[in-house]
């Protein structure tokens, strides 16, 4: 059941004639898929993972302190310390909930501290809270819990809350990691740019919401976390509004195994992985709307996600790579499919100085990469200035080979791509179509003419230069010698807009602790039926204002 190994990268480059390979590039790659859990100082990440029966989880020690992994009932795992940069593999054959802990940093009952869960199969997740599904509420309770007036820390306010409450946070720097264990609460900063949760490069996440439904987080900043700024996992109903996440060690805003959500009016920078991520959900019923992602490894990443998943009216610029939906065997629900990428500015994603991981480096210089994805819809985007491709549809190789098929690329403006504006590769040219796009060069030549939507399909060959480019990048990524910035010291972003209603209160000079709670009845809504509430945003999608300079 358990396999212990040192952390050595086993480089494997597999050549396919006439295909480009988008390969999972982890620094512990092996021949079989696994779900990774990072063991860092104070926490596991992700705290909860869901895998299929017979699936493998790899627990790797990324921290500087002693750690181990042991089941709360001691039925699996080991009390032996996992050396830094080493790992243990655990295979779970049977459906069930497997709770575990680090015995150095949690009590034997696993009720608090450094704890986590592996969910095997399609079972209901029972979290570490005292709340159940029926405790989720749709309306504000009318109770406002002020930080720091009434509660010294945000965590104290969360622990004292009931479903439907508002936690209102005064400007200041809060040195904590907030673990949300109450459904249907709203956590709101008074002023987005000066209400800051700071991980001090010691704590895992700014705010994490695991196995708890209906939680909204609004109008504040998270920085300097070892992992993620804002993180939802195994949740139904989530909302991230007017958030800023910068210089966090993994993702900016991250939703995993979660459905019915919206990420809107938010900003992310300085993340080695992706500024924004939605993964392992189908149908996701989620919207990413009016966000800015810059100076990250990727602007957006989504592994094995899709189904009513919309990325709209947003800006992805100056990342190493732009928007990269992808399929991998290391997570559940492959393949990636049915993501709608509409009305975005995707610009200059060639930033060699952005932080990155081995896998995000593979997408360097690309605007949109569909890697092993199916039935995606890419329309009315402005995609400008990329060192390799504006849009490339390709296959993905992990344990299995995942072709890309049924993708529709329509009415985009693609310009100033050094290799080609649109490209199709892989032995999987199945029904991918291009229509009404404005561009200069394609690979293969004649791509839009011969692979038009609704026309007869003429199969085209693949481009070998793309293959060799990908192989070279794999070698460089595996060596870790590629250039990148340090996420811990990356430039701070400019100030971002407040929620309009909060901005009006600030301008009127209201005193934070003296506001009548009655005001909030019209502006506070727990994150319930989120996708349905925001479906109006999917009509008449407009480009960001910054894109209009390219339309003249």
State the average pLDDT for the chain: 86
What is residue 30's predicted lDDT score, i.e. its pLDDT?
41
At 513, the pLDDT band (50, 70, 90 cuts) reads: low
pLDDT bin (cut points 50, 70, 90) of residue 455 is low
Instruction: For the chain, give the percent of residues with pLDDT over 70.
Output: 86
What is residue 346's predicted lDDT score, i.e. its pLDDT? 98
**What is residue 20's predicted lDDT score, i.e. its pLDDT?**
41
Domain ranges of the chain: 133-269+489-552
Q: Are 40 and 227 in contact (CB under 8 A)?
A: yes
- Residue 25: its pLDDT value, please? 45
Q: Lowest-confidence range among 70-79, 88-97, 350-359, 517-526?
A: 517-526
Could you write out the three-class secondary structure of 235-287? Answer: CEEEEEEEEEEECCCCCCEEEECCEEEEEECCEEECCCCEEEEEECECCCCEE
Question: 50, 280 in Cβ contact below 8 A?
Answer: yes
What tens digit of pLDDT does each residue of 341-381 get? 999 999 999 999 999 888 888 889 999 999 999 999 999 99
Least confident of 121-130, 181-190, 480-489, 502-511: 121-130
pLDDT band at 21 (very low <50, low <70, confident <90, very high): very low
pLDDT of residue 15: 33
Grade residue 521 by pLDDT with cuts at 50, 70 and 90: low
Q: Judging by DSSP bridges, how do beta strands 259-264 and 35-40 pair with one another? A: unpaired
pLDDT at 23 (0 to 100): 47
* Token duo for residue 145: 């819990």
pLDDT in tens, 33-47: 788 898 877 778 788
Cβ atoms of 230 and 254 within 8 Å: the answer is yes
Q: Where is average pLDDT lowest: 119-128, 345-354, 498-507?
A: 119-128
Please determine, for residue 465, whether its predicted confidence score (pLDDT) is greater than 70: no
Q: Which residue, among 338, 258, 259, has the nearest Cα to 47 in the 3D structure?
A: 258
Q: What is the mean pLDDT of residues 270-299?
A: 97
pLDDT in tens, 402-436: 989 999 999 999 999 999 999 988 655 578 999 99
Residue 278 confidence (pLDDT) above 60: yes
Label residue 469 by pLDDT band (50, 70, 90). Answer: low
Per-residue confidence band for 470, with pLDDT thresholds at 50, 70 and 90:
low
Give pLDDT, residue 126: 65
> Looking at the predicted structure, is the pLDDT value of residue 128 above 60?
no
Find the mean pLDDT for residues 146-162. 96
E strand or H helix at 302 = strand 298-303
What confidence score (pLDDT) does residue 146 get?
94
């Amino acid at each position: 059941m358990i396999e212990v190994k040192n952390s050595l990268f086993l480089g494997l480059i597999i050549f396919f004639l006439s295909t480009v390979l988008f390969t999972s590039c982890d620094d512990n790659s092996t021949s079989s898929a696994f779900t990774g859990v990072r063991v860092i100082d104070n926490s596991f990440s992700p705290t909860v993972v869901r895998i299929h029966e017979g699936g493998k989880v790899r627990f790797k020690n990324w921290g500087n302190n002693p750690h181990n992994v042991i089941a709360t009932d001691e039925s699996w795992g080991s009390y032996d310390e996992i050396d830094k940069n080493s790992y243990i593999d655990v295979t779970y054959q049977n459906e069930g909930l497997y709770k575990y802990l680090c015995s150095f940093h949690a009590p034997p009952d696993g009720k608090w501290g450094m704890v986590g869960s592996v969910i095997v199969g399609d079972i209901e997740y029972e979290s570490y809270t005292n709340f159940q599904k029926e405790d989720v509420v749709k309306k504000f309770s009318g109770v406002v819990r002020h930080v720091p007036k009434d509660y010294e820390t945000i965590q104290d306010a969360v622990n004292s809350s009931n479903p439907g409450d508002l936690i209102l946070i005064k400007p200041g720097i809060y040195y904590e990691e907030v673990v949300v264990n109450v459904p249907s609460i709203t956590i709101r900063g008074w002023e987005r740019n000066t209400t800051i949760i700071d991980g001090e490069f010691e704590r895992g996440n700014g705010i994490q919401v695991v196995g708890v439904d209906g939680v909204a987080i609004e109008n504040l900043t998270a920085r300097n976390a070892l992992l993620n700024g804002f993180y939802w996992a195994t949740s139904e109903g989530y909302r991230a509004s007017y958030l800023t996440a910068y210089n966090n060690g993994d993702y900016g805003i991250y939703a995993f195994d979660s459905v019915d959500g919206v990420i809107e009016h938010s900003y992310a920078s300085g993340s080695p992985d992706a500024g924004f991520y939605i993964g392992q959900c189908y149908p996701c019923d989620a919207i990413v709307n009016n966000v800015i992602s810059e100076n990250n490894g990727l602007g957006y990443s989504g592994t094995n996600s899709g189904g009513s998943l919309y990325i709209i009216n947003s800006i992805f610029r100056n990342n190493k790579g732009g928007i990269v939906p992808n399929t991998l065997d290391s997570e559940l629900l492959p393949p990636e499919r049915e993501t709608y990428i509409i009305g975005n500015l995707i610009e200059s994603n060639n930033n060699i100085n952005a932080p990155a991981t081995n896998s995000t480096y593979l997408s360097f210089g690309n605007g949109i990469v569909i890697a092993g994805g199916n039935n995606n819809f890419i329309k009315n985007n402005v995609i400008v200035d990329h060192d390799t491709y504006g849009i490339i549809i390709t296959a993905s190789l992990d344990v299995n080979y995942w072709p890309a098929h049924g993708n529709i690329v329509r009415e985009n403006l693609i310009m100033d791509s050094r290799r080609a504006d649109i490209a199709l590769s892989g032995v999987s040219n199945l029904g991918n179509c291009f229509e009404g796009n404005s561009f200069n060069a394609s690979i293969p030549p004649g791509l839009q003419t011969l692979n038009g939507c609704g026309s007869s399909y003429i199969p085209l060959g693949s481009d070998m230069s793309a293959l060799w480019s990908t192989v070279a990048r794999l070698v460089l990524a595996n060596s870790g010698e590629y250039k990148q910035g340090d996420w811990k010291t990356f430039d701070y972003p400019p100030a971002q807009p407040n929620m309009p209603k909060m901005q009006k209160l600030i301008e009127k000079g209201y005193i934070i602790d003296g506001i009548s709670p009655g005001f909030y009845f019209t502006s506070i809504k727990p994150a319930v039926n989120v996708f349905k509430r925001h479906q109006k945003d999917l009509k008449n999608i407009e480009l960001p204002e910054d894109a209009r300079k390219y339309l003249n």
